[in-house]
Chain A
Amino acid sequence: MTETPLNGEFDEWLDSIEDGEGYYVECDEGHGWLPPRRVCPDCGSRELHDEPLPDSGEIVTHTTITVATPQFEDDAPYVTAIADFGPVSITGLVRGVDPEDVSMEDVVGIEVGERETTGERAVVFRPR
């Protein structure tokens, strides 16, 4: 059995979150992005530097998915949300709360969890 190749900086970014040292990349204009990025799509700057990811984000939209793809079959029903961390927004699975109780503006922390179906790593939000 061969190991699945990693997705470079994306997996390094997940590692950083696992280590409690999450980051994002930012240009001098303050536009924030998740790696890998070599150029800021907003202003074209190629001078991107790492910045520490804020400790918590706020849910700006969410959905409870009942009809999943085969890769998430055993996870369903599950909540996918976009959380605003200030300079960047991030998409993740909301855990540790009943799907019916997830609300807009909920404050969440970020961690790395596993998909129940495949065991692969996934971004997970938990209420703070």
Chain B
Amino acid sequence: MTDPRIAGAGVTQFGKHPERTGRDLFADAGLEALDQSGVDPDDVDALYYGNFMGELAEHQGHQGPLMAEAIGVDAPATRLEAACASAGAAVREAVKTLRNGEADVVVVGGAERMTNIGTAAATDALAIAADDLFEVRAGMTFPGAYALMARAYFEAYGGSHEDLAHVAVKNHEHALVNEHAQIQKEITVEDAMEAPTIAAPLGLYDSCPITDGAAAAVLTTDEYAEEHGLDAPVAISGTGQGGDNLALQDRPHLARTPAADKAAEEAYADAGIDADDVDVAEVHDCFTIAEVLAIESLGLFEPGEGIHAATEGTTSRHGEMPVNLSGGLKAKGHPVGATGVAQLATIAWVLDGTHPRADAVPDGTVGVAHNAGGTVASTTVHVLEVQE
């Protein structure tokens, strides 16, 4: 068994494109990925596509075949939904399909149209990732859920809102050179601390924006890449997925994300690496506290230590363990169903040296992508490695 290769990837400009349809967004990313890969679209055996709220935002279900058509691919197409980890789940299906020999070429991607329905309706739509009976009916919003986790984290381990502000400042700085990013604006710790509160203790700058966008990647078997002379130096060497109780109230610990622990453990074992081997990570920072929880679950920091990482500069592009060189969800934006594949594209570009922040890890060979759904009741982790 050999590791699937990333032959090409495409990401739209993330931002406010309320007039652009989901199919148009996905075509933008998908065609770029196909063009960059050099793969003949007729060779594509399957499309796995992530999307979370298409029914609510566009009154559009059954998006798989629609998106295959949009990129000129005639192949079985399936949509996956795992809240914000929908695209990560799509990547995992693609990897499994390629590994078990059922396909030579798979397109993986995702798209989300969100700003067309406005902030209130988008907030409402995002909340359906939580438990409707026991959480949403008790007023829980998506930011509210992470605020509950943030307060529980501070109680268990210490740290403060100011530490979270450093996460936001770092990710905004990383995004300054990312032309795909929704927000390219430097902010200060003071800006983040003084921003309006949305769900105490979290403020506006602790939260990712609401975003329209799409991402896609063309994955092939090692054999296909070799036979067709593709330039595809980065392989997906490990995949993992973990789950947890959907409702926060049913979990024994609110300051930990065991679904991500399990996903990381599985992905590292699959790739034959451990956390010490990781050179760079893209993690799911839908809220600043989520980055802290993610880097602890990935084993990059001990429980209770992740909160200090951004404050101490360890996770900045100048630090020992750069995290979210893209700007993360925080600054790059979070078109929910596309995020997992946008992370994959970022790591591939950092490792092959074409990302504008690749100079943060000039000798990097191992990267991880952590994609979390809801309050981390679903998580996928993928390990990417340079395999010349």
Q: Does A78 contact B (CB under 8 A)?
A: yes
**Min distance, Cβ A44 to any Cβ of chain B, angstroms:** 15
* Of the residues B133, B135, B140, B143, contact of A67 by C-beta under 8 Å: B143
- Tell whether, in the assembled complex, residue A70 and residue B151 are in contact, meaning their CB atoms are under 8 Å apart: no
- Tell whether, in the assembled complex, residue A80 and residue B144 are in contact, meaning their CB atoms are under 8 Å apart: yes
Contacts A66-B197, A80-B148, A93-B138; is A60 near B254 (CB within 8 Å)? yes
Q: Does A92 contact B (CB under 8 A)?
A: yes
A91 CA to B127 CA, complexed, in Å: 15
A73 CA to B196 CA, complexed, in Å: 17
- Tell whether, in the assembled complex, residue B249 and residue A89 are in contact, meaning their CB atoms are under 8 Å apart: yes
Closest to A31 in B: B250
Closest to B120 in A: A70
Q: Which residues of B contact A33 (CB under 8 A)?
A: 250
- Tell whether, in the assembled complex, residue B144 and residue A65 are in contact, meaning their CB atoms are under 8 Å apart: yes
Closest to A79 in B: B139
Q: Does A107 contact B (CB under 8 A)?
A: no
Mask of B128-164 contacts with A, CB within 8 angstroms, 1/0:
0000011111111101100111011001000000000
- Tell whether, in the assembled complex, residue B135 and residue A41 are in contact, meaning their CB atoms are under 8 Å apart: no
A121 CA to B198 CA, complexed, in Å: 24
Closest to A85 in B: B249
- Tell whether, in the assembled complex, residue A68 and residue B141 are in contact, meaning their CB atoms are under 8 Å apart: yes
A71 CA to B130 CA, complexed, in Å: 15
Q: Which residues of B contact A93 (CB under 8 A)?
A: 138-139
CB < 8 Å A-B pair total: 101
- Tell whether, in the assembled complex, residue B139 and residue A75 are in contact, meaning their CB atoms are under 8 Å apart: yes
- Tell whether, in the assembled complex, residue B133 and residue A10 are in contact, meaning their CB atoms are under 8 Å apart: yes
Mask of B95-138 contacts with A, CB within 8 angstroms, 1/0:
00000000000000000000000011101100100000111111
Contacts A60-B254, A78-B139, A93-B138; is A67 near B148 (CB within 8 Å)? no
Contacts A67-B123, A69-B120, A91-B134; is A104 near B151 (CB within 8 Å)? yes
Q: Does B247 contact A (CB under 8 A)?
A: yes
- Tell whether, in the assembled complex, residue B254 and residue A63 are in contact, meaning their CB atoms are under 8 Å apart: no
Closest to B200 in A: A64
A32 CA to B148 CA, complexed, in Å: 21
Q: Does B245 contact A (CB under 8 A)?
A: yes
Q: Which residues of B contact A62 (CB under 8 A)?
A: 148, 151
Q: Which residues of A contact B57 (CB under 8 A)?
A: none
A10 CA to B136 CA, complexed, in Å: 13
Q: Which residues of A contact B140 (CB under 8 A)?
A: 80, 91
A33 CA to B127 CA, complexed, in Å: 22
Q: Does B181 contact A (CB under 8 A)?
A: no
Q: Which residues of A contact B199 (CB under 8 A)?
A: 63-67
Q: Does B29 contact A (CB under 8 A)?
A: no
Q: Does B175 contact A (CB under 8 A)?
A: no
- Tell whether, in the assembled complex, residue B151 and residue A90 are in contact, meaning their CB atoms are under 8 Å apart: no
A113 CA to B135 CA, complexed, in Å: 15
Closest to B153 in A: A61
A51 CA to B135 CA, complexed, in Å: 22
* Of the residues A10, A41, A65, A99, contact of B139 by C-beta under 8 Å: A65
Q: Which residues of B contact A80 (CB under 8 A)?
A: 138-140, 144, 148
A78 CA to B137 CA, complexed, in Å: 13
- Tell whether, in the assembled complex, residue A69 and residue B141 are in contact, meaning their CB atoms are under 8 Å apart: yes
**Min distance, Cβ A107 to any Cβ of chain B, angstroms:** 16
Closest to B140 in A: A80
Q: Does A122 contact B (CB under 8 A)?
A: yes
**Min distance, Cβ A112 to any Cβ of chain B, angstroms:** 11
Contacts A69-B127, A93-B138, A104-B155; is A63 near B147 (CB within 8 Å)? yes
Q: Does A27 contact B (CB under 8 A)?
A: no
Q: A60-B254, A67-B123, A82-B148 are in contact. List 13 more A-B contacts (CB 8 A).
A: A61-B151, A64-B197, A64-B199, A69-B123, A69-B136, A71-B124, A72-B139, A80-B140, A82-B248, A88-B249, A90-B134, A91-B138, A121-B137
30 contacts between A and B (CB under 8 A): A7-B133, A61-B155, A61-B254, A63-B200, A63-B202, A64-B197, A64-B199, A65-B141, A65-B199, A66-B196, A66-B197, A66-B198, A67-B119, A67-B123, A67-B199, A68-B141, A69-B123, A70-B121, A71-B124, A72-B139, A73-B120, A75-B139, A80-B140, A91-B134, A91-B138, A91-B248, A92-B138, A93-B138, A120-B137, A122-B138
Chain A contacts to B: CB under 8 angstroms: 7, 10, 33-34, 41, 60-73, 75, 78, 80-82, 88-93, 99, 104, 115, 120-123
Chain B contacts to A: CB under 8 angstroms: 119-121, 123-124, 127, 133-141, 143-144, 147-149, 151-152, 155, 196-202, 245, 247-250, 254
| 8 cross-chain pairs, A with B, having the tightest CB-CB distances, nearest first | A63-B147, A69-B124, A91-B138, A64-B200, A61-B152, A89-B249, A67-B198, A80-B139
